[in-house]
Amino acid sequence: PCKFGRKYKYNGLTYIVSWSKKKEITCYANAFKMKKVNIPGKMLEHAYVAKKRVEQDPSCWKSNTVIVVDTSGSMRESDVWGASSRLNAVWLCVALDFIAHRLESGNAGPYDVISVVFMGEQGHTAIKLAPTTWQLYNNIVDQYNNRNLMAKGHGFYIPSLKIAQKILTCNKSSSCALSLIFMSDGRPSDLSSKDSILESVEALGKKFG
């Protein structure tokens, strides 16, 4: 029981129904549980050395990825299996697919740097040039479990694009692969036309050939 009626869990969903059990009040997906990994001391030492090198010598970078995350109000929707909201589903994807899987498969390491930028009226850099390590994974798990970020407001593309451009162009090395990833569920909230956003993306693409 809960204060709104009766609560039932079935097939990954939680249902709230009336006391008479004749009316569904709401339902939502049950959140997938993520646990932090235990990092041995030797691995921590190697990660620390790599982090210092990444900060001091951009020529050692193998890749530079910026992930732009939509944090607008629509990301509160609970329609993704295994996640309590669309925004939490983003954290799951980043932690499990983009960090853990690539570390375990050997497709990424500490010289592959990752930044996370939140959409908003001004845009906000949540993670900047972080090496791909299990420490970063644990950081994302903390964000996910503690639900430090709430989805609200509007999703503006252009401010976050400008931030992403600065991050992607901070390393001039031709041997550093560049990636820009947008994780959004809807249309831009920018007052400017869709053409302006496309022009911004095209201009950014031309800079990198």
pLDDT at 4 over 90: no
pLDDT score of 15: 79
Token couple for 138: 């644990």
Closest CA to 64 of 151, 154, 148, 172: 172
The pLDDT value given to residue 208? 65
Judge whether 86 and 75 are in contact, CB under 8 Å.
Answer: yes
What pLDDT, in 10s, does the model give residues 7-51?
877 776 777 888 777 788 777 666 677 899 999 999 999 999 999
- CA distance readout (Å), 178 to 51, 96, 165: 19, 21, 11
**Other beta carbons within 10 Å of 78:** 18
